[in-house]
Amino acid sequence: MDPYAVELLRVSKSYKSYQALFGIDLQIRRGEFFSLLGPSGCGKTTTLRLVAGFEEPSSGEVRIDGQAVAGLPAYQRNVNTVFQSYSLFPHLSIFENVAFGLRRRKVGDAEIRRRVDEALAMVHLSEKSKGRTHELSGGQQQRVALARALVNQPAVLLLDEPMAALDSKLRKEMRSELKRLQKSLGITFVLVTHDQEEALTLSDRLAVMNAGRVEQVCEPREVYERPATRFVAEFIGTANFLPVKVTEISNGRTRVDGEDGQFWVVSRPGLEVGDAAELSLRPERLWLDKTSDPDHNSLNGTVAETIFMGPVTRYIVKLGNGHQLLTEKQNLEESLFQAGDPVCVHWDADSGALLPR
C-alpha cells in the first residue's frame, strides 16, 4: 500500500497572471499530524484547497491515498475541511449541522443517529445536540465544525487556521483537543497555520513555506535546530546570524572563520571549504562567562543591555566589530552581568547551524 495519504508532485498554481505556487513537492504520511506553516500569502491555503478539490493545479499532480485526483470534485475526495469561519448553519440544530453531509448522501436515519452521537461525543458536545449554533461559544462552534468533518470518517482532515478566531487560552485548549482526537482516530491531519508555536507543538512533521515554495520539510525539533535556510531560521523563533567562511571540514565538524574569530560547527552537506555561509545561533544556546573557555566556541564583547522578562533575562552583547548578539538565560539565580560588563559569549559546536549564503 502507498505509504502516503497525500502527495503533491511538482505542483504549480497560477491565478490569472499571478503565480501562487512554484513546483511544490510534498509527501504526507498516513496517520501523521502535518502542518503547512508560513507567513500570510505564502500559499498555504492554496495548497490545502488543491488537496480538498476546491482548486485544480495549473501543472503537476495531487494524489490522495495513492490515486491521482485531477478533475475529481471536492465531495468525491476522501477528505474533509474545517474552515477558519466554521461555516455552520444557524437555522439548523447542532445535531443537524453535524448530520448535514450524511443526509445529503442519503445515509439511513439509524446510522446517522449513531455517527452524529459518536462525533458529538468525540468533541464533548453530546448534551448540546438539540441547541442552535448561536447558543455556543467560539470554542464550541469550532468543535461542531470538527464533528461535522469527522462524522464523514475522512482519510484526511484538512484544517485551515481552525483556531484563528479563538482567544489565546481557548486556542491552547483546542490544540490539546486536536492532538488528542488525531491520536485516538489515527487519521491524517493537515493543518494550515502561520503560528509557529501551534505548528511546533502539534505536528509530527511540518513544511515551512515561503513565497509559493517549500523551504523545508521535517520534524519540529529539526526545523528549529537545523533550519535549512535563513528564512526558516528567522521565521521560527529568534536567531543571531554571523557571516562566516568555511575553512576546514573534518569528522562531521566544520571550522568557519568569522569577523571575530574561528568556530567549530556541525557540518552541513553541500557546504565546501572556501564557501561563504552564515552561522545561525539561538539566543538560549549562548551563555556568558567572565573568562574565555578554550573547550567551547567563544567571542568577546560587552553587555549593551539587560532585559528582565520573567522566566528569562535577555542580554544584548556588543561585539568588537559593532555586531550585536542576543543571548537568553533562565533566571535560576541572580543575574551576574550588568550593562557595561566585559563578557565572553560561549556556545557548543552542536548548537549552531550553518546556512548557505
Binding residues for ligand ATP (CB under 6 A) = 15, 18, 20, 38, 40-46, 194
Comparing CA positions, the residue from 76, 55, 63 lying closest to residue 160 is 55
Taking the complex as a whole, how short is the minimal distance between the CB of residue 268 and ligand ATP, in angstroms? 28
With cell 511544490, the residue in question is: 24
Query: Distance from first CA to last CA of the chain, Å, rounded?
Result: 41
CB nearer to ligand ATP: give 51 or 256. Answer: 51
Contacts of 194 (CB under 8 A, 6+ apart): 37, 38, 39, 40, 44, 161
Q: What angle do CA 45, 235, 81 make, to 5 degrees?
A: 20
Taking the complex as a whole, how short is the minimal distance between the CB of residue 15 and ligand ATP, in angstroms? 3
Q: Following DSSP, what letter does each residue of 205-259 receive, concatenated?
A: EEEEEETTEEEEEE-HHHHHHS-SSHHHHHHSS--EEEEEEEEEEETTEEEEEET
Determine how many CB atoms are found less than 10 A away from the CB of residue 268. 17
Taking the complex as a whole, how short is the minimal distance between the CB of residue 213 and ligand ATP, in angstroms? 12
Contacts of 139 (CB under 8 A, 6+ apart): 166, 170, 173, 174
CB nearer to ligand ATP: give 44 or 77. Answer: 44
The distance from CA 122 to its chain's CA centroid, rounded to whole angstroms, is 25
The span from the CA of 291 to the CA of 260, in Å, is: 16
Taking the complex as a whole, how short is the minimal distance between the CB of residue 201 and ligand ATP, in angstroms? 19
CB nearer to ligand ATP: give 47 or 351. Answer: 47
Determine how many CB atoms are found less than 10 A away from the CB of residue 241. 16
Q: Are the beta carbons of 12 and 59 closer than 8 angstroms?
A: yes
Taking the complex as a whole, how short is the minimal distance between the CB of residue 20 and ligand ATP, in angstroms? 4
How far is the CA of 9 from the CAs of 51, 57, 213, 214, in angstroms? 12, 10, 13, 12
Taking the complex as a whole, how short is the minimal distance between the CB of residue 196 and ligand ATP, in angstroms? 13
Taking the complex as a whole, how short is the minimal distance between the CB of residue 152 and ligand ATP, in angstroms? 24
CB nearer to ligand ATP: give 143 or 194. Answer: 194
CB nearer to ligand ATP: give 15 or 75. Answer: 15
For residue 238, the 8-state DSSP code is -
CB nearer to ligand ATP: give 46 or 129. Answer: 46
CB nearer to ligand ATP: give 18 or 272. Answer: 18
CB nearer to ligand ATP: give 43 or 220. Answer: 43
Report the amino acid identity of residue 277: A
Taking the complex as a whole, how short is the minimal distance between the CB of residue 13 and ligand ATP, in angstroms? 8
Determine how many CB atoms are found less than 10 A away from the CB of residue 219. 14
CB nearer to ligand ATP: give 191 or 265. Answer: 191
Comparing CA positions, the residue from 234, 232, 254, 233 lying closest to residue 245 is 254
Taking the complex as a whole, how short is the minimal distance between the CB of residue 39 and ligand ATP, in angstroms? 7
The span from the CA of 294 to the CA of 296, in Å, is: 6
The span from the CA of 90 to the CA of 204, in Å, is: 35
